Amino acid sequence: MSRNRKSGATNTNGPECMAHGKRWRSRFHCILNQLRMNKEISKLEKSDIDRIPFAVCTCTHTSKGVPIEPDRRWESFPDGEYQGAERYFEEFLEELDKSTELYSLLKYHFSDLQTQGQLAGKSSARRFLLLFQKIHLIGDRELSRRSRNRGDPPQSRVADRVEQTVHLASLKREYIPLYLGSSGRKMRQYLSGKKKVNVTLKVEEGDKVFANIACRSKDAQAIKEKLVTEAEALAERRRIHEQTRADYRSHHGLGVDDWMDTNNESNGEDEDEDES
Closest distance between Zn ion and the C-beta of residue 156, in Å?
25
Q: Which of 1, 41, 49, 59 binds Zn ion (CB under 5 A)?
A: 59
Q: 210-213 — which CB contacts under 8 Å span 24+ positions? A: 210/165, 210/166, 210/167, 210/168, 211/165, 211/166, 211/168, 212/163, 212/164, 212/165, 213/163, 213/164, 213/165, 213/166
Taking the least distance from each CB to Zn ion, the nearer of 123 and 170 is: 123
Residues across the chain: 276
Listed ranges 14-22, 113-121, 163-171, 256-264: which one lies at the site for Zn ion (CB under 5 A): 14-22
Please tell me the count of residues contacting Zn ion according to CB under 5 A: 5
Residue 18 binds Zn ion (CB under 5 A) = no
Residue 171 binds Zn ion (CB under 5 A) = no
Closest distance between Zn ion and the C-beta of residue 4, in Å?
21
Nearest to 54 by CA among 71, 31, 39: 71
Residue 19 binds Zn ion (CB under 5 A) = yes
Listed ranges 7-15, 53-61, 87-95, 228-236: which one lies at the site for Zn ion (CB under 5 A): 53-61
Listed ranges 18-26, 182-190, 218-226, 240-248: which one lies at the site for Zn ion (CB under 5 A): 18-26
Cα–Cα distances in Å, from 38 out to 6, 47, 56, 99, 101? 33, 14, 21, 14, 10
Residue 17 binds Zn ion (CB under 5 A) = yes
Taking the least distance from each CB to Zn ion, the nearer of 57 and 220 is: 57
Burial profile 213-246: b = 16 or more Cβ within 10 angstroms, e = fewer: bebeeebbeebbebbbebbeebbeebeebeeebe
Taking the least distance from each CB to Zn ion, the nearer of 146 and 186 is: 146
Please report, in angstroms and rounded to a whole number, the separation of the first and last CA atoms in the chain.
70
The angle, 0 to 180 degrees and rounded to 10, between the axes of the packed helices 46-55 and 25-37 is 160
Q: Give CA–CA dist 240/234, Å, rounded.
A: 10
Pairing verdict, β 208-216 and 161-167: antiparallel
Phi-psi region of 143 (alpha: psi -120 to 50; beta: other; left: phi over 0): alpha
- The amino acid present at 69, given as its one-letter code, is E
Taking the least distance from each CB to Zn ion, the nearer of 127 and 186 is: 127
Taking the least distance from each CB to Zn ion, the nearer of 113 and 235 is: 113
Taking the least distance from each CB to Zn ion, the nearer of 64 and 251 is: 64
Taking the least distance from each CB to Zn ion, the nearer of 20 and 36 is: 20
Closest distance between Zn ion and the C-beta of residue 125, in Å?
12
Q: Which of 1, 20, 36, 111 binds Zn ion (CB under 5 A)?
A: 20
Residue 125 binds Zn ion (CB under 5 A) = no
Listed ranges 59-67, 71-79, 193-201, 212-220: which one lies at the site for Zn ion (CB under 5 A): 59-67
Taking the least distance from each CB to Zn ion, the nearer of 146 and 238 is: 146
Binding residues for Zn ion, per CB under 5 A? 17, 19-20, 57, 59
